[in-house]
Structure 1
Amino acid sequence: MKEGKELAGLLGYQLQMCQIIASIPAREALMDFDISPARLTALTLIRDNQGCTQTALGDKLHVNRSSAMKLVNYLEARGLVRREAGADLRANALYLTEEGEALAHLMLAALGDADRQVLSALTREEAASLLGLLNKVRQAAEAGQ
């Protein structure tokens, strides 16, 4: 089916289609770990921001408080994340467990293989350029909110 010039020239359309296509090998790569790419993203953000709050995690993921709570509850039930009293007693601080650290490393390696599969039509330089440009667009959009 043709998509036409209008759709082909829309950033949102291209991003959405790439996300759909990229999610297939990503989900397959994480299937053995019984975790979704979204949950791995949350786990990785907690790893990189030890002691963050559930609210800060939700803000970074652009999800509401209820969705952030469900993500953290799942990760905690799996033994990948633990909650501790934070500096602000109204909010818990989030930390990865040893198992969470080990599994995050393995899952990110599997996800890296899936990314390389999706980007296989590009040279290394093109892939690096694409990721750099996407990061720049995302950061600019987040700064404008």
Structure 2
Amino acid sequence: MTDKEIIMSVEKSIRYISGHVRAHGREILKEYDISPLQFVALQWVNDKSGITIGQVANKLYLAHSTTTDIIDKLEQNNFVRRERSAEDKRLVLVKIEDKGLEIINRVIEKRVDFISKITNNLSENEKALLPVALEKLLHESESLFNE
């Protein structure tokens, strides 16, 4: 295999595995009346301790108005709350609620279960190498993405 063929194979594998992991975890969303896009927004709110709607819009690559609608729906369902920033009263931050954490934890648990099943047939050596390789890829990805 050439370097280009290897990279193309890695891209395809990452894309497919990512899709399968997301789809498997999203089965939980039906129980909460939350769309996959709303869930992604909820994850961004959880990842940052207080994030503006504008920042969420940038992360989702959506218009501010569309993101506002998404946050409105999340707030109506008690997944998030809006709060004025203590440092800058002009800023309105979106923060996660317990119900939002609950759904994220349930989805992650389902995803971890799926990943456990798909890595079950790996050798111990392969299991040990996988997180190391993925962490390196993640680090490089973040470095290039943030340039």
TM-score normalised by L of structure 1: 0.69
Give the RMSD, CA atoms, in angstroms.
3.1
**Residue deviations 1:40-59 (CA, integer Å, cap 9, x gap):** 34323323322221112233
19 and 93 in structure 1: CA distance in 2 versus 1, 3 angstrom threshold: same
Query: Which residue matches 2:47?
Result: 48
Name the SS for the 1:50 alignment partner.
Answer: coil
**Residue deviations 1:102-144 (CA, integer Å, cap 9, x gap):** 3333333223223333444444324313431341233023222
Given the alignment, which residue of 130, 135, 139 partners 2:138? 135
Shift of 1:83: 0.8
Query: Which residue matches 2:117?
Result: 117
TM-score normalised by L of structure 2: 0.68
Count of aligned positions: 140
Measured in 2, the distance between the counterparts of 1:106 and 1:83 equals 23
Quick one: percent identity of the two aligned structures?
Answer: 20
Mark the runs of 5 or more structure 2 residues left unpaired by the alignment: none
47 and 20 in structure 1: CA distance in 2 versus 1, 3 angstrom threshold: closer
Bigger radius of gyration, 1 or 2?
Answer: 2
Mark the runs of 5 or more structure 1 residues left unpaired by the alignment: none
Measured in 2, the distance between the counterparts of 1:70 and 1:35 equals 13
Deviates more, 1:46-55 or 1:126-135: 126-135
Correspondence list, 1:91-110, <5 A: 91-110=91-110
Equivalent residue letter for 1:32: E
Is this contact kept in 1: 2:24–2:110, CA < 8 A?
A: no
Is this contact kept in 2: 1:30–1:111, CA < 8 A?
A: no
**Residue deviations 1:72-109 (CA, integer Å, cap 9, x gap):** 12211211101122344544111122322333333332
